[in-house]
Structure 1
Amino acid sequence: MASVHVATIEWVRDGADFADSAYARRHHWTFDGGAVIAASSSPHVVPVPMSDASAVDPEEAFVAALSSCHMLWFLDLARRGGFTVDRYADAATGTMGRTGEGAFWVAKVDLHPVTDWVGDGPDAAALRALHDAAHQACFIANSVRSEVVVHLD
């Protein structure tokens, strides 16, 4: 299954002084299906007003991509297992850390999925097995070195 996924990233200086780092980090992501997302550096990294806290930062997008991929696989595997999911929500979080060389990275992503079922859902062991299988199947999880933990509290 060879497929290509396209995102166009565009930033414009808009006349700001580039040399003194006072330029805005706000930019746009345009995806091949036409969706346009306002993006920026994280205000945890670059202070407002140079960053835009209302825009999506790359670290948030990374966490969202992992959570979304996991959910999509989970929904399909639950369907294949004869279960009907009525609602799925996840308050995913990413935690920054430093590598041994001192570089920052998203060291851990915690998923906290909550699922509402139509009729009987799986028991605790089967639920864990569905999430484990979703994690193993997720293309994004298979593409990263960050620890990804699924919490079923």
Structure 2
Amino acid sequence: MKHHTKIVWKKNTSENFTSGKYSRVHKWYFDEGTEIRASSSPKVIPVPMSDPSAVDPEEALLAALSSCHMLFFLSIVSSKKYTIESYEDTVEGIMQKNDNGKISMSEITLNPKTKFSSTNIPSVKEITDMHQLAHSQCYIANSLNSKINIFPN
């Protein structure tokens, strides 16, 4: 199963590329035309060469992991005949040097908050178990070397 995306960056005509002072703003294109403005993180490359209003690769990595985890979690909840009304996750990633001295997203923490319908609510242990199963099945989590913590509410 192959997946594709397209990334496009173009130098602004007035920029001196070799000075390193060029815009990092670019576009990501997905599937049937979804377009997202992206940039380097202003925590890595300062403004104005980065755009803090655009999505940066670090944020995209966190969103991809959280989204993948959520989709597996929802599938598991559904298969167990529970009804979930809402799911919200505030994700945090820590970048630091890894064992090879390279900067990496070394630790990611998912903080999913779920609201189940009031008629059939799983226990805290069942919710934790479903999150662990979702984590073990998540394609993105299985692709990362980062430590991933999950703190369901």
- Which TM bucket (shorter chain)? over 0.9
Q: What SS class does the counterpart of residue 18 from structure 2 fall into?
A: coil
- Equivalent positions of 1:11-50 (< 5 A) are 11-15=9-13, 16-50=15-49
Correspondence 1:69 to 2:36? no
Partner of 2:126: 126
- Equivalent positions of 1:104-123 (< 5 A) are 104-119=103-118, 120-123=120-123
Q: What SS class does the counterpart of residue 28 from structure 2 fall into?
A: strand
Distance 1:17 1:28 in 2: 21
TM-score by length of 2: 0.96
Distance 1:125 1:4 in 2: 36
- Equivalent positions of 1:73-152 (< 5 A) are 73-119=72-118, 120-152=120-152
Whether contact under 8 Å (1:74, 1:130) holds in the other structure is yes
Distance 2:144 2:97 in 1: 15
Identity over the aligned pairs, expressed in percent?
41
Superimposed CA distance per residue, residues 48-103 of structure 1 (whole angstroms, 9 cap, x where no aligned partner)? 00000000000100000000000000000000011001000000111101012321
The residue type paired with residue 126 of structure 1 is E
Aligned length: 151
Shift of 1:148: 1.0
Partner of 1:53: 52
Runs ≥4 in structure 1, deviation > 3 angstroms? none
- The Cα RMSD (Å) is 0.9
Q: What SS class does the counterpart of residue 101 from structure 2 fall into?
A: coil
> What residue ranges of structure 2 are gaps of 5+ in the alignment?
none
